Every structure is written in C-alpha cells, then in structure tokens.
Amino acid sequence: MSGERRSNMRRVVNESGIEIKPVYTPADVEQSGGFSFIGEPGAYPFVRGIHPLMYRHRPYTMRQYTGFGNAQDTNARFKFLIANGQTGLNVAFDLPTQCGLDSDDPLAHGEVGRVGMAVDTLRDVEIAFDGIDLDKITVSLTINGAAPQLIAMYLAMAQKRGYDVRNLRGTAQNDILKEFIGRGTWIYPVEASVKLVGDTIEYCAQQAPKYSPVSVCGYHIRESGANPVQEMAYGFCIAKAYADEVIARGVDVDEFAGRLSFNFNVFGNIFEQVCKFRAGRGLWARIVRDEYGAKKPESLWLRMIAGGGGGGLTFEQPEVNIVRGAYYALIAALAGAQTTALCCFDEAYTIPSEYAQRISLRTMQLLITEMGLADTVDPLGGSWYVETLTNQMRRNMEEIMADVAAQGGIKKLIAEGSIQAQVSAQAYHMQRAIESGEFPKLGVNCYRAEQSEEVDVEMHPYDEEDCRRQIAALEATRRSRDAAHVRDTLARLRDDARAGRNVMPAVVEAVNAYASVGEITTELAAVYGRYREPVKF
C-alpha cells in the first residue's frame, strides 16, 4: 500500500473505543492475549457457548416483549404469539405497576395500562396466564421495584393451578440497580433496594430453586448511553453486588449463581456486539470461579437474553427497522444467546401491533429454519479479527470493573449519582454526534427521504375505559377479600421489614390474601423510605 493511500485511509474506532485495523493476522490475536482463553463450547471459560452443541441441541427461546391494557387483553396477545410459534413470554407492565402504585392511585392517572399490563392483585396475574401451560412456556417478568410482589404473585398463581414451584422455571428482571442508572422505576433507597433483591434470591434458592429471581439488565444501561463494554462491565458489577448481598447471609454461591441470568442489548456493529458477548461469557465465568469459588459448572454460565435494542430503531423510514431487526437477531444467534427478544419495526412509534410482532417472530424463526444459524456452534470463532476483538473487549471490561471497585463499588457510585451522570453525558454526546452527522444513522442524517413521507404505522390506541374497568376490578377484589386477613398479613410484612428479616414469606402471604401491589409498597416504604434522586450536571 502506498504512503499516499495510507495517509488518506479512514481511521475506524468502534463505540467501545477500540481502533479497528483494516487487516488482522494471528500476530494480532497473540498480542491481544492469545487463543488460550477460548476453550470449547460447554466448557470453561464458555467463550464459545455454555452448552456443547448449543442450537444443534435446542434453538434459542423466542420471547417477545408484550403486555398492554388489562390482563384479559394481554392474555389474548400471549395466546396469539404462542399460536404463532413463540416459545417463551416476556411480560411488559405499565408504569404504575412498575412503580408500586395501584391503578386508583392519583399518581397513576393517565398511565394505567398505557405501556404495559396493569396488575393490582393476584387476580390480574391469574387472568393473564389463564390457559397457558407453564411447564411448556417459561415466563419472564420485566419488573424491578415491585419485583417482590410480582414474583410472589406468579409463584402463588402457579401453586394455585397445581404446579410444583420447586420445579417451576421462569425469570424476573428484578435488577433495581440498573433502574437507578437507566430507567427510573425505583421506589426505595439503594441499600434497601439491594436488600430486597437479596430477599428474592434467598427465598427462591430455598423455595423455587429452578426459578431465576434476577436478570441483570445491561440492556437499559446501554439504551441510556453506555457503550457496549460499559454495558457488560457495569452489569457484572451489579451482579457482584447482588451476589455479595446473598453470600453475606450465609448462602453458598452454588445455591444461587446458576439461576442468575442476564439481559443484554443488541444494536450497532455486528462484530463488536458478537465479541462483547463472547468476552463477557469468559469474564463472568472467571469472576464466579476465581473470586467466588463456585464449583458447579452451571454456576459459571452467563445465561442471557439478547434483545434487539429499541435504541437502534428510527422514527424515520420505519420499514428499514425490519432489516435492522433481522441483523439484531443474527447477532444474538452468532453470539450464542439462550433467548432472543427482538424489537418490532413499529416500536419507535407505539406498542407493537400483532402484525409487527409476527414479523419479528418470523425473523427469529427464519434464522433457524432457513439460514443455518442452528447448524454449528460459534461460527465466527477462530477469526483473527473476532478473537482479537474478543480479547480486547474482555480486557477493557476488566479495566472498567477495576475502576468501579477503586472508587468504592457500584452501589456507592449509583447512590451518589456518578454512574448516572456519566451515562447521561455520553447519551448527550451521542445525540449531538447523530445530529451533526458525525455518527451515521440511516434515514436520520444520511440517505434521508427526499420528501417528507406519510408513515403507515398502526398506532396503538389508549382507551380510558380500560382504566375505569381496571379500577372497578380492583375495587371488586377489595370487597370480596377477607379484609381482616389482609390487615394481618400487611402487619406481619411491616414487622418483618422493621426487624430486617427476609420479607418474601410475608409478601407471599399478603398476595395470597389479595393484598395489592400498592398496599405492599406502602408498608415497605414506611420502613425503608423512598429514594430521592441526586441530580448531577
């Protein structure tokens, strides 16, 4: 290559800050750390996948995110997706439920059922999962601040239907620390919030050992402005905080680590995304084995759902989002995800329609049935570029985690607002880069339509009548339940919280008495207080 050609060559740096060379050789792999940390699929350090045969044995679970209005409407959409071949459910809850409010709370006005399913009592959960075989369809509950109530309701519903909760599988997101960073549906202060996460992990380890009570969610940290390396590193810091909380109670790491799961984001450069997952699997296995002394192989697994990031979608030219989604699904499959939840092309506008959700579901099915993604394990493994980038990203994750530890740990940095400030600043700079054209975004700052065009996207209507029906159902449940028994269960809950005991047994008792999400939140907030967000500029 001539000197003139070299001087004109564009410098390429990925979002994680790693400069990408035009050509890679075995020497680059050796310089970055070598091939020694790759291993074989199904064996430590699991870089190539947590199972020996991966999708040859069982394809990834397809778990579209859905939920809106009331329990009846959501149950109908669940059954539509299952009838179209979906193999798992991923439940969206409305903002009042996420924030621990009942539907008749004044703060819930205008938001009941708007962006997810409204849940007030166990009755709603019973309706939502009516007719769904919980042995065949596993359920993920995307809930955080109110996770103790919703986990308790789900287990209670299953038990009432005759399922043995000791064999029940499923997941709750229940990652409150990322809420402080990324979304804001926190309720209690940081320390109390982590204590409640610990309560759910400890309770499930004892009572529902096959249930995953936490899905650590780097997804929303990435959506809020973190780069791919930070997404993984902060997620691991958060997972360690929960593990430390439970181990301090005397629970052995092998009793719960195998049921921790992760929720990560997919949008952006294909190779950067694939390598972050390969790097993350090896790093997490090393952390759990070397720092926590886990003995069981399954304790070392990075069990993950890889979701097509809504942050990658555009309002402009929404049909192009179908193509973006196909690449997101391809990345998740190439990266060895256990579960995929693919965003729909209309999510830049509205709650996905049945039409849009079917396209996303067919996209995931297409990769398995026609594109050969289930034929072999880790098909990109061995690429000099991929192995070099995997090593580099793992090293960068380790550096970020070491920096967090040196500054006092993830809980401290979140409590004082430092992580939030950093991620928010990065989101601002990224938006400016998109607006200036420095960061290319098709349809937004390049390849724009010459004329403004009408967008043919079906908008999901918000029906005030749904809210009135939800409140009426809540009032009916309050009239029909044993009020004295409810008061007794809430009093026990308050006492257990004050005494520092694990509150999950009391929460389970309360939801079985049909105490509401908001009533339980009120009792816990009376003891723990409510979080006040520190704002840094």
Task: List Cβ<8 Å contacts ≥24 apart for 130-133.
Answer: 130/75, 131/75, 131/79, 132/75, 132/78, 132/79, 132/82, 132/89
Question: What is the chain's length?
Answer: 537
CATH number at residue 427: 3.20.20.240
Residue 297's nearest CA partner among 2, 52, 472 is 52
Of all residues in the chain, what percent carry a pLDDT higher than 70? 97
DSSP code string of 373-404: TTSSS-TTTT-HHHHHHHHHHHHHHHHHHHHH
Asked if residue 312 belongs to a domain, the reply is yes
Asked if residue 528 belongs to a domain, the reply is no
Give the span between the Cα atoms of 475 and 471, in whole angstroms: 6
pLDDT band at 399 (very low <50, low <70, confident <90, very high): very high
CA separation, residue 213 to residues 140, 171, 206, 216 (Å): 10, 6, 12, 10
Domain extent at residue 156: 53-373+390-436
Asked if residue 133 belongs to a domain, the reply is yes
Asked if residue 151 belongs to a domain, the reply is yes
Higher pLDDT, 259 or 4: 259
Task: Calculate Rg over the CA atoms of the chain.
Answer: 23
Asked if residue 445 belongs to a domain, the reply is no
Q: How many CA atoms lie within 13 A of 504 on its CB side?
A: 25
Q: Which amino acid is at 52?
A: P
pLDDT recorded at residue 489: 98
| Total domains in the fold of the chain | 1
Q: Is the pLDDT of residue 4 over 60?
A: no
Mean pLDDT in residue range 274-297: 98
Q: How many CA atoms lie within 13 A of 460 on its CB side?
A: 20
Opening angle at CA 240, ends 237 and 245, nearest 5: 130
Asked if residue 124 belongs to a domain, the reply is yes
Dump pLDDT digits (tens) for 180-239. 999 899 999 999 999 999 999 999 999 999 999 999 999 999 999 999 999 999 999 999
Dump pLDDT digits (tens) for 308-340. 878 899 999 999 999 999 999 999 999 999 999
User: Per-residue b/e over 388-406, b at no fewer than 16 CB within 10 Å?
Assistant: bbbbbbbebbbebbeebee
Q: Is 202 exposed, middle or buried (0-12, 13-18, 19+ CB in 10 A)?
A: buried
Asked if residue 311 belongs to a domain, the reply is yes
Tell the residue number behind the tokens 């979906």, with chain if given. Answer: 86
Preceding amide of 45 cis, omega within 30: yes
Tell the residue number behind the tokens 């993920």, with chain if given. Answer: 140
pLDDT recorded at residue 452: 64
Dump pLDDT digits (tens) for 249-274. 999 999 999 999 999 999 999 999 99
Phi, psi of 135 (to 5 degrees): -80, -30
**Residue 321 three-state SS:** helix
pLDDT band at 370 (very low <50, low <70, confident <90, very high): very high
Asked if residue 418 belongs to a domain, the reply is yes
pLDDT recorded at residue 311: 87
